[in-house]
Amino acid sequence: MLRLKNINTYYGKVHALKNVSLHLGEGEIVTLIGANGAGKTTILNTISGVTPASAGEILFCKEPVTALAPDKVVQRGISQVPEGRQVFKPLSVEDNLELGAYLRYRNREGKASIHKDMDLVFSLFPRLEERRRQLAGTMSGGEQQMLAIGRALMANPKMLLLDEPSMGLAPLVVQEIFRVLERLRRENGTTILLVEQNAKAALKLADRGYVLETGKVILEGPANELLENAEVKRAYLGKDKKEMWER
Amino acid sequence: MKRDLLLFVCFSLLIMVAPQLFEGGYLMNVLVFVGINTMLAIALNLLLGYAGQISLGHAGFFGLGAYLSGIMTTTYSMNPWVAMPVAALIVGALAGLIGFPILKLKGHYLAMATLGLGIIIFIVFNETVDLTGGPSGLSAIPNLKLAGLSFDSDVKNYYLIWAFTLAVMLFSINLANSRIGRALRAIHDSEVAAQVLGVNSRVLKVQIFALSAVISSLAGSLYAHTMTFVSPASFGFNFSIELLTMVVIGGLGSIYGSFLGAALLTLLPEFLRGANDYDIVIYGALLMVMVMYMPGGLVRGITSLFSKFVKKSGADHA
């Protein structure tokens, strides 16, 4: 469904992504793990067109989306949940959600279908419905994360890019959010690309994973294999620390 | 939405009967200025309060509208009704053209760029003497005429200006409540988040900048045709700052706030005239007190005071 071929991205002179290639099948949940600065967020931003690639090709549903502006990428069916949630704090929950459907309003899509999707979001996150008139900035971190995901879903995407949805949240809330992601894939067939620091939780949810280091893919494979991989364990899962000490 | 409409109708009625309450004269002239300044404050508020993009050069767009209208109707004897939209179109196109490169800048840098723009426009007014009359200004600009009625008195001008101001207000309220208004507030809060939702922030910022310039130009044209005289002094850096103060005092992101801010800053100097040399001191002190105690602007300050009062009197009854 999505295929990145030899993507190179720069921030000014900094070479952030070096020949990154990855792919996602339809309905798959794939996770990108890696340390800070490995290029996880950059991959998402490159796909969504926020920081365009300077070389390489991105295909979505067999069509190139490499040099498209962010709004065109959304139009094709890729929605990003940006890092740190970035909900619009002075706006109400409802306004935030309606912003997610920004392009659908422009395309004169009927209000009925947009409101149907809002109901879907409310069924996934009932707490948002309770707070629909509340200002987004007054909600807890977990609720804001739910809103950020709900807002991305309002664009009716085929594929969801999630950037560290667990950041700064209590483990229970993380579980709740991950359960919703699973349900989304099961019920709507949404394809999900998940960037996570919480590698263990992410690999448990995902089908496959990619491990990134300083802008390169150093390892890829089925999630359960990565979970067992000694190198991954040592570097990202915080296990076998003792071994390191002893060595 | 219905409440907004009701509020607007009440406000319009108030504006319509206001001349009956005050016995004409000099105050009418001041109220004409309140109308013009309201239009300008709304224009800047759409850009600053909604989209979160600062401009310290809006006096320049105001001046361009005034001068373009003035020059087209005097030197080229064009009909003022034609000159006004032509001026607005030119100013809008210019703002769009300049907006593309400078709106990439953010915060202080955007402030500097727009400041520079305002200064350049000001210098052009002063130096192109053949066209603008230079520092001594441009005079004998014709009044607007409508079906044999010439807008040549303060009361007539009052209704003319306020008809336009109310139209701009209604338009802006609708815009603010539309999906575009939501997108503007989204850009204000987080441009990246707005982008990944499909808001083309770059284009939208330029569009709102151009719209803001068009409204300012319209206010400028109306100014030229009611005053019949324009000179560069009215369009300097000071006036850009005054507009900014109106918007902030009234309340960022509030259309009625822009009216209150414009009304206050236009009327205050008139009322303080009795204080002779101390007027500036009192003026400055009042502004400071207001910003300290009503940081959200007049509209929010007054509504929160009001709701506190209602709560208190409710508690007294109980």
Instruction: Please indicate if any CB of chain A lies within 8 Å of the CB of B180.
Output: no
Query: A50: which chain B residues are within 8 Å (Cβ-Cβ)?
Result: 192, 195-196
> A155 and B186 in contact by Cβ < 8 A?
no
Instruction: Please indicate if any CB of chain B lies within 8 Å of the CB of A99.
Output: yes
B183 closest CB neighbour out of A50, A69, A102: A102
Mind giving me the DSSP string for chain B?
A: -HHHHHHHHHHHHHHHHHHHHTTSHHHHHHHHHHHHHHHHHHHHHIIIIIS----S-HHHHHHHHHHHHHHHHHTT---HHHHHHHHHHHHHHHHHHHHHHHTTS-HHHHHHHHHHHHHHHHHHHHH-HHHH-GGG-B--PPPPEETTEE--SHHHHHHHHHHHHHHHHHHHHHHHHSHHHHHHHHHHH-HHHHHHTT--HHHHHHHHHHHHHHHHHHHHHHHHHHHS-B-GGGGSHHHHHHHHHHHHHH-TT-HHHHHHHHHHHHHHHHHGGGGGGGHHHHHHHHHHHHHHH-TT-HHHHHHHHHHHHHHHHHHHH-
Name the residue ranges covered by the structural domains of chain A. 1-77+159-247, 85-156
Query: B185: which chain A residues are within 8 Å (Cβ-Cβ)?
Result: 88, 90-91, 95
Instruction: Please indicate if any CB of chain B lies within 8 Å of the CB of A95.
Output: yes
Nearest partner of B141 among B29, B235, B227, B35, judged by Cα: B227
Instruction: Please indicate if any CB of chain B lies within 8 Å of the CB of A50.
Output: yes
Specify the pLDDT at position A229: 87
pLDDT greater than 70 at residue A238? no
Instruction: Tell me the nearest-neighbour CA distance from B252 into chain A, angstroms.
Output: 12
> A99 and B196 in contact by Cβ < 8 A?
no
Give A161-187 pLDDT, tens digit per residue.
999 999 889 989 999 999 999 999 999
A140 DSSP assignment: -
> A100 and B197 in contact by Cβ < 8 A?
yes
Specify the pLDDT at position B298: 86
CA distance from start to end of chain A: 44
**What is the share, in percent, of chain B residues with pLDDT greater than 90?**
65
Would you call A31 helix, strand, or coil by DSSP? strand
Tell me the mean pLDDT in the region A92-114: 88
Between B315 and B73, the more confident residue is B73
Q: pTM, whole model, 2 decimals?
A: 0.86
pLDDT greater than 60 at residue A159? yes
Domain B2-317: which CATH number of 1.10.1220, 1.20.1270, 1.10.10, 1.10.3470? 1.10.3470
B-interface mutation test, from A89, A99, A117, A149, most B Cβ less than 10 A away: A99
> B179 and A103 in contact by Cβ < 8 A?
no
Instruction: Tell me the nearest-neighbour CA distance from A101 into chain B, angstroms.
Output: 8
Phi, psi for A9 (deg, rounded to 5): -130, 140
| Residue of chain B with shortest Cα separation from A49 | B196
Give B190-244 pLDDT, tens digit per residue.
888 999 899 999 999 999 999 999 999 999 999 999 999 999 999 999 999 999 9
> Which residue type occupies B146?
L
Q: Show the CA angle centred on residue A174, arms to residues A172 and A176, nearest 5°.
A: 70
Query: A88: which chain B residues are within 8 Å (Cβ-Cβ)?
Result: 185-186, 189-190, 193
Instruction: Please indicate if any CB of chain A lies within 8 Å of the CB of B182.
Output: yes
**Unique residue bearing structure tokens 């002179």:** A13
Question: pLDDT-derived band of residue A247, with 50, 70 and 90 as boundaries?
Answer: very low
Specify the CATH architecture of the domain A1-77+159-247. Answer: 3-Layer(aba) Sandwich (3.40)
pLDDT greater than 70 at residue B316? no
Q: Counting one residue from A and one from B, how many pairs have CB atoms under 8 Å apart?
A: 67
> B198 and A89 in contact by Cβ < 8 A?
no
| Residue of chain B with shortest Cα separation from A85 | B193
